[in-house]
Amino acid sequence: MPETTSDILLRVEELLSYDSSAPLIFSSGLFLFLFAGFLLIYNVLRRATTARIIYVILFSLYFYYKSSGLYFLLLVFAATSDFFIARALARTERPAARRGWVALSVAVNLGMLGYFKYTNFLADIANDLFGAGFLRFPDIFLPVGISFFVFQSMSYTIDIYRRQLQPLRNWLDYLFYLSFFPQLVAGPIVRARDFLPQIRRRPTVTREMFGVGVFLILTGLFKKAVISDYLSLNFVDRVFDEPLLYTGFECLMGIYGYALQIYCDFSGYSDMAIGLALLLGFRFPKNFDAPYKSATITEFWHRWHISLSSWLRDYVYISLGGNRKGRIRTGFNLMFTMLLGGLWHGAAFRFILWGALHGVALTLHKIWLAVIPGAKPSGAQMNCVNRVIGIFFTFNLVCFGWLIFRAESMQTVELLFHQIVFDFQADVIPQIVTGYVGVFALLAVGYLLHLMPARLDSFVQRTVTAAPMLLQVVMAAVLIWCVMQIKSSDIQPFIYFQF
């Protein structure tokens, strides 16, 4: 039956309205459909620089509106505030006044982040200390991706303060940078000095860029919609919700499953973001580099969420003095930086504990390197045996951190450990594997692909990149069909949307 006018108007209304239960995400069919239409007009506007910039800004704001509603105005405010602060900062020569301007930028950005992200958390602490009702606040909605665009905007003004960057003269260019939809809601955190020179350059997509972009979009979609979502819905969430219903082996596999889930979810988003940007003629830095291959905790943070870890290093750790002021101060700087990194992830004590764990681990590794002759900072410098031992130890340390990160309470952590230590039930492992054959198959596939040698991974990428466009279309169709076969009826937002 053909659609009536009212049906068409209803569909248009759905497209233009915000639904908090159905955010627009990269792995949804609606986004892929909208992006295809967006790309057609984008290609027409390649030579019309100003029109192209305005068009991308409008689509980016629409994309953010479909994720956070009217809070897209917060993004516009952040872009306006730091644009004018940066202009004033560049015109100012007196050191005290320059410090004042950059302090204002940091205060505005952290003020927004603090209000939306930490007000309820602090109110809960106050009410626990001084009695229920001591502080009353309505539940405050957390705009999607606020932590990402706030850090990105602060890096712009700080770089100008350090005289490492010249301010933009056109507000539209800065709004374009801050709102660019591929990396808007979950990174990577793109530095202004890397991105700004690309804005007014005529976008050129080479055959190699197109092929790599398609490859990254497909791999990201596979990681998110096939591995991460399936593991989450069919195993990991169940184990963490009711640990006592599962054997110790299942609880251990639930922790290992979450380690793979969060990696596939977040790196899948980053892959798709980088791939989408390539199709538009923009290059983003790499955000993940097989982190579970790391043989030390320091190497892990060189491979995991690279854009955040490098941001914390450059704007927090080094600003505090880095490793230039002795071992005790270095340890303090590492702990403070990682505690801030943990708090960045969310307003809960478990994120602070997670940051503290990594801060202690990094500090101990620094001490190890200083006092043990011949100790290596990364696995690439180790012999094969030490590297395997290091990978095993580092992976399990990271998984312990993920347990704290994922568990809703310390009671859940205790219950999972109790099951693993006192109720492992190794004799029923074959039955468990048989009962969860899909889960364990995806666990095996996910970890095998992750641990694949870098040369083999590069070979696969080059092969897909060089394949005829028709073959790439067929691969995309097959992958989308696979996603449709196993996807849940509910939209599964990316984990890092909450940060």
Question: Is-contact 439 234, C-beta < 8 A?
Answer: yes
The rounded distance, in Å, linking the Cα atoms of 280 and 274 is: 10
φ, ψ at 186 (rounded to 5°)? -155, 30
Which long-range CB contacts under 8 A does 447-453 form with residues at least 24 apart? 447/260, 447/292, 450/260, 450/263, 450/290, 450/292, 450/293, 451/290, 451/292, 451/293
CA 70 from centroid of its chain's CA atoms: 23
Determine whether 2 is exposed, middle or buried from the number of CB atoms within 10 Å of its CB (0-12, 13-18, 19+). exposed
Residue 262 structure tokens: 């969060």
Q: Is the peptide bond before 291 cis (omega within 30 degrees of 0)?
A: no
The rounded distance, in Å, linking the Cα atoms of 13 and 270 is: 30
Residue 246 structure tokens: 């599962």
Catalytic residue list contains 302? no
Determine whether 371 is exposed, middle or buried from the number of CB atoms within 10 Å of its CB (0-12, 13-18, 19+). exposed
Question: Is-contact 377 368, C-beta < 8 A?
Answer: no
Q: Is 12 helix (H, G, I), strand (E, B) or coil?
A: helix
The rounded distance, in Å, linking the Cα atoms of 387 and 115 is: 44
Phi-psi region of 477 (alpha: psi -120 to 50; beta: other; left: phi over 0): alpha
The CA-based diameter of the chain, rounded to the nearest angstrom, is 78
CA 210 from centroid of its chain's CA atoms: 23
CA dihedral (73, 91, 51, 53) positive or negative: negative
Q: Is 238 helix (H, G, I), strand (E, B) or coil?
A: helix
Tallying the residues shown for the chain, one arrives at: 499
Question: Comparing C-alpha atoms, which of 408, 446, 412, 432 is closest to residue 256?
Answer: 446
Question: Is-contact 193 164, C-beta < 8 A?
Answer: yes
Question: Is-contact 212 465, C-beta < 8 A?
Answer: yes
Q: What letter would DSSP give residue 188?
A: -
Complete DSSP assignment for 371-384? HSTT--SSGGGS-H
Question: Taking the CB of residue 418, how many other CB atoms lie within 10 A of it?
Answer: 14
The rounded distance, in Å, linking the Cα atoms of 217 and 273 is: 8
Could you give the C-alpha distances from 399 to 91, 94, 212, 259, in angstroms and in order? 49, 49, 31, 6
Annotated catalytic residue: which of 305, 345, 358, 365?
A: 345
Q: Which residues are catalytic?
A: 345
